[in-house]
Amino acid sequence: MDTILNTDVTSVINKAEIYCSQQGIDIDLVYKLPESVLEIISERSKELPTLYFVSVDLLRRRIKNGCFLLRRGDEIYGHIFAHEHHVKGRSVYERACLWVNRDFRNYNLGLLLMSRMTELFTESFLISIAQTPKVHYYNELLGMTHVTLAQMSTVLVEELEKLGKLRDELNYRYYVNPCFEAESKQLK
């Protein structure tokens, strides 16, 4: 994180892309994955305390919204999904299941994945729910705004509660993209 404190975020993302290119790692947007890969991701989410557990069935639904992968051949080095919530007839997408292989975590690949997903949903309501300070920092670098539960629509809070996504604000933070922030009153 210290390496990007005084650096332009675009430059950092470009360097991450160059690193991927040098390592032969592809950055792919996919809408379908083999069942065996979904099972690995699901198991990983169960084993890692920083990930919220995601069943294979839920991953099948999420992948329809898009998933960015970092991969070389059949080996996956990172991923991020989008989970769709429905609130008052609007779709609210949540960036979810961010993971980068431990051997590649010092190259800002998590930021790269978050950036790609944020760009994909520029014209949509996008939310990020995370507990890791590094992810909070990345959200801010990507132009997302921290919001409290009190600032959110009651309907959205209820939807997140149904899914078990509602967290305490001492340990988790919620960030929304500019589109969501500008139009959030529509969900009130």
Query: What is the arithmetic mean of pLDDT over 146-158?
Result: 80
Determine the pLDDT at residue 90. Answer: 84
Domain enclosing residue 154, as ranges? 2-187
Q: What is the dihedral of CA 30, 36, 37, 38, to 10 degrees?
A: 80
Residue-level pLDDT at 2: 43
Considering only CA atoms, which of 94, 97, 83 is closest in space to residue 44?
97
> Per-residue confidence at 171, pLDDT binned at 50, 70, 90?
confident
**Residue pair 66/126 in contact by the 8 Å Cβ criterion:** no
In terms of Cβ atoms closer than 10 Å to its own Cβ (0-12, 13-18, 19+), residue 169 is exposed
Indicate which CATH number applies to the domain containing 182.
3.40.630.30
Total domain count for the chain? 1
Query: Quick one: CA dihedral 108, 109, 110, 116, positive or negative?
Result: positive
State which amino acid sits at residue 77.
Y
Taking the C-alpha atoms of 87, 92, 93 and 95 in order, what is their torsion angle to the nearest 10 degrees? -90
pLDDT band at 163, cuts 50/70/90? low
